[in-house]
Structure 1
């Protein structure tokens, strides 16, 4: 065979290579266009969030909040923390079974709520700890116990503890219920208002139960 005999084969090979390059280039062009169009509202030219961006920012609606939501979380965190401190004292001081059960219920409910509220404040770029806020001083209707109240509770046991715990927790819960109702009235954040409703229902039921305990002690 001569070099001339191989010429058609070489021409055919060059055409195949050229065709492959054109196809690859076309594929790359279409892919690039497709990627660009992912961020466009077809027909309008307006930018829209990509599926990934939408998934990431899908919680935007739940982050809407106002000053009432911030105050609710900032005030309820220390309120819950004091309730937990009181409830944990019941482990080795209470003698009444129902008091111990109520204390366990308080721990189970309020510990996760504290973590949730701290998460809200962090996402809202608001401080989770506030040194002093209006309404958080004992005697202002918030139900918070004074330092001397807490020391007194720590110093008693058995039936005396049971009675004092019930009396103090009723006052404490009533303060939380009032704060939660303010949030229901003035708040904007859906999750915060839902928690406020849970607090009103749950702690109102516990107040009724504690009053029943006092009646029989």
Structure 2
């Protein structure tokens, strides 16, 4: 009996030792699992939907689209520079109103084309030689020459030269826009070009009537 009691005690001790080793292993496993699950949480925050949606999305385009946007921004800015002189120098209320309309229409288009170039990873400015492309001159003069002459005029003289210059300026825009329609790839740029052709052709007809009435 004594021998059997000792055997029972020995078996019980071994069972307790086995249980102790089993309870230690899960705790180590739990610690490892906690450590490994922290890494995916950090990486997922770096590619959250909010951050991904903030990235610009580039649409299809070609070199003609980029050149159109680069040069039309410059061309539009020239129209804005001319029109900003009208409130203090023009005599005709019609000329002043036209200048205001041109500013309100073309500044948003500048902003739009600038955003395209950035999304396309294209430079905001074209090379120097691009300024000699068709549509950029104004009755054989540069934008700077026209601005300088306009700044020296007032009254009816300003109105006449502004209208003459802006008609030629708009005609240049039509050349550039039609070229984009024929050669461009970007649907957005081609759509804007069609809008420019429509709106500026209408303004050319309006300015010719205003000029004839002076």
Pairwise same-fold verdict (TM > 0.5): yes
- 1:173 corresponds in structure 2 to 170
Q: Does residue 91 in structure 1 map to residue 80 in structure 2?
A: no
Among 138, 155, 164, the alignment partner of 2:152 is 155
SS of the equivalent of 2:85 reads helix
- 2:122 corresponds in structure 1 to 126
Distance 2:135 2:122 in 1: 25
Q: Judging by fraction of residues, say which structure has more helix.
A: 2
Q: Does the 8 Å contact 1:176/1:199 carry over to 2?
A: yes
Q: How does the TM-score come out when normalised to structure 1?
A: 0.69
Q: Look at both structures and tell me which one has the larger radius of gyration over its CA atoms.
A: 2
Q: Which runs of 4+ in 1 moved over 6 A?
A: none
Distance 2:68 2:196 in 1: 12
Distance 1:131 1:85 in 2: 22
Q: Does the 8 Å contact 1:64/1:188 carry over to 2?
A: yes
- 1:9 corresponds in structure 2 to none
SS of the equivalent of 1:130 reads coil
Give the superposition deviation at 1:200: 0.6
Distance 1:107 1:67 in 2: 28
Q: How does the TM-score come out when normalised to structure 2?
A: 0.70
Give the superposition deviation at 1:131: 4.6
- 1:188 corresponds in structure 2 to 185
Give the superposition deviation at 1:130: 2.7
- 1:71 corresponds in structure 2 to 67
- 1:137 corresponds in structure 2 to 132
Distance 1:137 1:91 in 2: 30
- 1:41 corresponds in structure 2 to none
Distance 2:129 2:165 in 1: 22
Q: Does the 8 Å contact 1:143/1:174 carry over to 2?
A: no
Give the superposition deviation at 1:56: 4.0
Which residues in structure 2 correspond to 1:198-213 (within 5 Å)? 198-213=195-210
- 1:43 corresponds in structure 2 to none
Contiguous gaps of at least 5 residues in structure 2: 1-48
- 1:101 corresponds in structure 2 to 97
The alignment covers a number of residue pairs equal to: 169
Give the superposition deviation at 1:191: 0.9
CA separation of 1:168 and 1:89: change in aligned 2, threshold 3 A: same
